[in-house]
A and B are shown apart, each in its own frame.
Chain A
Amino acid sequence: MKKARFVSQSLCLFALLVLAGFSFPRPLDSANLTSASDTLETSRLSFHGKNAEQLTAGTSIIKMATSDTPSTSTANLFTGDTVVYTGTSNTYTVDYIIDSDEFAVTATLDAADDDLNDEFVIDRTGTHTVAFTTTSAIADGAIKIRIKADDTTPNDGHPDNEGWDFNSIAGSDVACPGDVGSYYDFVTATATASGGSGCAAGYHCFECRYSGPGNPGESLSMTIGADPELINPSATSGHSEGTADTYSIIFDNLNSTDTAIDSTTVKVAVIESVRVTATVDPTISFSIAALNVGTTACGNALDVTTTATTVPFGSLSIGAFADLAQNLTVSTNADNGYAVTALENNQMVMVGATAPEIPDTPGDTPAASHTAKDDWDSTTTKGFGYSIENVDATTPAFQYSDSDGDCSGTTYCAKQFADLANSEAHQTIFSSTTVADNQNAYVCYRAIISATQEAGDYWNAITFRATATF
């Protein structure tokens, strides 16, 4: 009984002591720096792969291993990336990605780079911008940033799978915080690779010493890396694509004897970039659309509405022009653009016969042909011809308002259609030497007959062709 009482009293006393301990904690000497962050210029993982097999001599296609290497697929590869073979330092540019384990480079592989297990890397480098707010006033101290490093090869200039490669950066590549009044007067930074003097293995150290009393609540920032920059890690062992690898970055505010007074740790994540791909097929499209009566084209109000396939002049006059038009539009993403040509099967001829014809216009000079333009303003000049009003085509062959050659810029500069029956070749009516987005032009048709034109219905067939230019 006595023993039991003793045990229960001891337990109560112990509990009281524990409670008292929690209620009156000993004040801490250090505290966390607040608002700490490390902003990476790029959070893309570096690439580290190797040949999957003995590659074909002189090939430009690389088949990469899908295991026993940090990067096990082409998921983090991009066209234009520079591949470096670590054994030879030969560089190649990624041309395109073939599939999950093959990609092509723009040049043929050197014989020294095509062996099984030859390793290659792609460096993704970037600056680290670290920012934080001080907690304590620490006199004549230093700001020290420690960035996770690889244990085995922390400074070989190639990506590592346990942290950033130091890449031989110097203190001059680190920008210390700006001086803050009488509180902080920073001197030049130092940069020490993992395991170097005053920098324990496992982290690279970047230090900015200052003189002054320090000040709580000051927002400070440093930039690590300029030329060169730290090399981002490659994928960690067991990395899962699409899942970030996280690393610790440690911020210390040291006192004058290099003891960390205030400290905090932040995590940063590096991950593959998403390769967005889309295929745009090369194409050309061509349309012919009607224009309505009354619409103004080539400087004239149109007399009749056309359709996509017909220009119905109806009854032609001997004293006035009949003006009609169509709207031709071309779009293409072909690099060298397009050309639209026109050809008539014959001059307008009486239906069901080979004669008589409404002749192609000779022009007022007369100088018009399928290759030469001429004014056609006089109603005494009889025939059938065409002109062009450019809306936004790059290069029309000519326009109704031209004032060069035999055209004086009066009202209507015209040409004849090239005539297949006369063995004339297709003539370009408008074109472009580059890609085109809905470029269009009005093709205007004009006809007038002489008093002696035999009565009847006349017609011909005109073909417009659109082709890409090579």
Chain B
Amino acid sequence: MPKKNHSLLTTCYFLLLATFCYLLLATPAKAQDFSLSISPPLLEIMLQPDKSITQAYEVKNEGNQLLYLTAFISPFLPDPQTGKVLYEQNQPSILPQPQFSLNNANLNLGETFILQPNESQQLVLKIKASKNVAEKDYYATLFIAQSVTGRQLLNQTAAQFSGQIGSHLLITVSQAGEFDFIGRIAQFKPLPKIADLGEKINFNLIVANEGQTLFKTNGKIEIFDWLGKKKKEILLRPDNILVDSQRKITCLDEPCYFSSLLPGRYQTMVTIFNPFQSFSSDGGPDTQSTIGDSSEVERSEALSQTISFWIIPFKLILVVIIAIFMGRLVLDRKKKKL
């Protein structure tokens, strides 16, 4: 009997030890993340009516959990004031669009597909402009959305989240591919209009598109001193301005500002080149070095506006006035003492 007990104890001891070891060596639990990528993130195309194109998208599950995903197209319009994206739920009138479908053998838009961790799926999107589609711009986003079916947590209050990743489609339907450049500089002003020496003057630039197709803001801001000599040239970032919208434009490699230690009146000219005009042989439109030179022909095809601002040495003037005032005060006191 004692022998039996001893054997039982030994067995229990080994079982306990094995359990302890298992717990020690168990794989650490990892938080489950949603992580998804799509390539390309943006597609800009020009399409003739009654023609179609295909574009392959690569979708990859970068996370550590299996994902149920759905691909769908969501048309959008640009916000007229900011150019930001407004989706269909807020803009129900933007249909009809070109037709979108997937060329994948076993997958259609709106159907769920599964991606294991680190697995990729190629989606071949076909975009077809019907014969009678209106010749204009169409904007949409291809979304890859995480499918969440029902509530995942029971018996408690919770917010349920799903991630979506999107690739914008900027589609221009045109038979001839010829467009007039109808843009407008909606706002171009310096802030402040009168600055001190060395103070930064920011340029606030808003460009509107009143034409039939999107254009990019290829252009520049040039600052000239009172002699008409160019002091600085800042290239604009070539952002897309969608049809019937306007957008605040930023500069390419640096903020849109100017500062100077030389007082005086400065003139600033913004030029946005006609994106539908052919370029000169060096690959870019001609630039001009002074105001009013001979490139009027070139500029007549571009948008341009000139504004002016002043740089005045306020602080220096103040210091001089205070110095004069103090000097006179000291002199007056000395005179009184005498």
Which residues 439-470 of A have a CB within 8 angstroms of B?
445, 447, 457-468, 470
Binds A, one of B152-160, B205-213, B293-301: B152-160
Q: Are A332 and B41 in contact (CB under 8 A)?
A: yes
Closest 3 CB pairs of A and B: A468-B41, A285-B37, A287-B35
Given contacts A285-B37, A312-B153, A425-B87, is CB(A466)–CB(B32) below 8 Å? Answer: no
Instruction: Say yes or no for A433: interface residue by CB 8 A criterion.
Output: yes
Binds B, one of A150-158, A166-174, A313-321: A313-321
Hey, which chain A residues are within 8 Å of B237, CB to CB? 336
Q: Are A470 and B160 in contact (CB under 8 A)?
A: no
Q: Roughly how many angstroms separate A312 CA and B153 CA in the complex, as a whole number? A: 7
Instruction: Say yes or no for B69: interface residue by CB 8 A criterion.
Output: no
Hey, which chain B residues are within 8 Å of A329, CB to CB? 35
**Interface residue from B33, B58, B86 paired with A308 (Cβ < 8 Å):** B33
Hey, which chain B residues are within 8 Å of A344, CB to CB? 159
Hey, which chain B residues are within 8 Å of A348, CB to CB? 157, 159
Which residues 81-114 of A have a CB within 8 angstroms of B?
90-93, 106-107
Instruction: Say yes or no for A29: interface residue by CB 8 A criterion.
Output: no
Q: Are B90 and A290 in contact (CB under 8 A)?
A: no
Contact with A along B242-285 (1 / 0, CB 8 A): 00000000100000000000000000000000000001111100
Q: Are A315 and B164 in contact (CB under 8 A)?
A: no
Number of interface residues of B (CB under 8 A): 57
Q: Are B90 and A423 in contact (CB under 8 A)?
A: yes
Hey, which chain B residues are within 8 Å of A312, CB to CB? 153, 156-158
Q: Roughly how many angstroms separate A309 CA and B148 CA in the complex, as a whole number? A: 8
Number of interface residues of A (CB under 8 A): 60
Hey, which chain A residues are within 8 Å of B32, CB to CB? 290, 307-308
Instruction: Say yes or no for B305: interface residue by CB 8 A criterion.
Output: no
Q: Are A284 and B165 in contact (CB under 8 A)?
A: yes
Given contacts A308-B34, A309-B148, A462-B160, is CB(A284)–CB(B283) below 8 Å? Answer: no
Contact with A along B153-181 (1 / 0, CB 8 A): 11111111111111110100000000000
Instruction: Say yes or no for B63: interface residue by CB 8 A criterion.
Output: yes
Extra inter-chain contacts (7) besides given A310-B153, A311-B159, CB under 8 Å: A282-B39, A285-B60, A287-B62, A289-B31, A308-B63, A314-B158, A467-B141
Q: Are B156 and A457 in contact (CB under 8 A)?
A: yes
Instruction: Say yes or no for B240: interface residue by CB 8 A criterion.
Output: yes
Q: Roughly how many angstroms separate A470 CA and B161 CA in the complex, as a whole number? A: 26
Given contacts A93-B283, A282-B41, A351-B151, is CB(A470)–CB(B31) below 8 Å? Answer: no
Q: Are B283 and A107 in contact (CB under 8 A)?
A: yes
Minimal Cβ-Cβ distance residue in B for A426: B87
A interface majority secondary structure? strand
Hey, which chain A residues are within 8 Å of B34, CB to CB? 287-289, 308-309
Hey, which chain A residues are within 8 Å of B166, CB to CB? 465-467
Hey, which chain A residues are within 8 Å of B162, CB to CB? 309, 461-464
Report the minimal beta-carbon distance from B41 to chain A, rounded to whole angstroms: 3
Instruction: Say yes or no for B65: interface residue by CB 8 A criterion.
Output: yes
Hey, which chain B residues are within 8 Å of A289, CB to CB? 31, 33-35
Contact with B along A345-365 (1 / 0, CB 8 A): 000100100000010000000
Instruction: Say yes or no for B228: interface residue by CB 8 A criterion.
Output: no
Q: Are A447 and B63 in contact (CB under 8 A)?
A: no
Hey, which chain A residues are within 8 Å of B250, CB to CB? 433
Report the minimal beta-carbon distance from A462 to chain B, rounded to whole angstroms: 5
Q: Which residues of B contact A (CB under 8 A)?
A: 31-42, 44, 58, 60, 62-63, 65, 84-87, 89-90, 141, 143, 145-146, 148, 151-168, 170, 237, 239-240, 250, 279-283
Given contacts A285-B37, A312-B153, A426-B87, is CB(A462)–CB(B161) below 8 Å? Answer: yes
Report the minimal beta-carbon distance from A422 to chain B, rounded to whole angstroms: 11
Q: Are A468 and B168 in contact (CB under 8 A)?
A: yes
Q: Roughly how many angstroms separate A288 CA and B32 CA in the complex, as a whole number? A: 9
**Interface residue from A283, A310, A426, A466 paired with B160 (Cβ < 8 Å):** A310
Hey, which chain A residues are within 8 Å of B163, CB to CB? 286-288, 308, 463-466
Q: Are A282 and B281 in contact (CB under 8 A)?
A: no
Report the minimal beta-carbon distance from A68 to chain B, rounded to whole angstroms: 28
Instruction: Say yes or no for A266: interface residue by CB 8 A criterion.
Output: no
Report the minimal beta-carbon distance from A305 to chain B, rounded to whole angstroms: 8
Q: Roughly how many angstroms separate A127 CA and B87 CA in the complex, as a whole number? A: 61
Report the minimal beta-carbon distance from B26 to chain A, rounded to whole angstroms: 19
Instruction: Say yes or no for A7: interface residue by CB 8 A criterion.
Output: no
**Interface residue from A92, A287, A290, A309 paired with B152 (Cβ < 8 Å):** A309
Q: Roughly how many angstroms separate A315 CA and B158 CA in the complex, as a whole number? A: 9
Hey, which chain B residues are within 8 Å of A401, CB to CB? none
29 A–B contacts, CB within 8 A, in A order = A107-B279, A107-B283, A285-B35, A287-B34, A287-B36, A287-B63, A289-B33, A290-B31, A290-B33, A307-B32, A312-B158, A313-B158, A313-B159, A314-B157, A315-B157, A332-B41, A334-B41, A351-B151, A425-B90, A459-B151, A459-B157, A459-B160, A463-B162, A466-B164, A466-B165, A466-B166, A468-B168, A470-B42, A470-B240
Hey, which chain A residues are within 8 Å of B170, CB to CB? 470
Q: Roughly how many angstroms separate A461 CA and B148 CA in the complex, as a whole number? A: 9
Q: Roughly how many angstroms separate A179 CA and B240 CA in the complex, as a whole number? A: 62
Report the minimal beta-carbon distance from B254 to chain A, rounded to whole angstroms: 12
**Interface residue from B141, B145, B156, B164 paired with A313 (Cβ < 8 Å):** B156
Q: Are B159 and A461 in contact (CB under 8 A)?
A: yes
Instruction: Say yes or no for A420: interface residue by CB 8 A criterion.
Output: yes
Contact with B along A264-293 (1 / 0, CB 8 A): 000000000000000001111111111010
Which residues 290-346 of A have a CB within 8 angstroms of B?
290, 292, 307-316, 326, 329, 331-332, 334, 336, 338, 344
Q: Roughly how many angstroms separate A426 CA and B223 CA in the complex, as a whole number? A: 39
**Interface residue from A93, A423, A463 paired with B164 (Cβ < 8 Å):** A463
Q: Are B282 and A107 in contact (CB under 8 A)?
A: yes
Q: Are A457 and B35 in contact (CB under 8 A)?
A: no
Given contacts A282-B42, A310-B158, A464-B164, is CB(A420)–CB(B89) below 8 Å? Answer: yes
Hey, which chain A residues are within 8 Å of B62, CB to CB? 285, 287
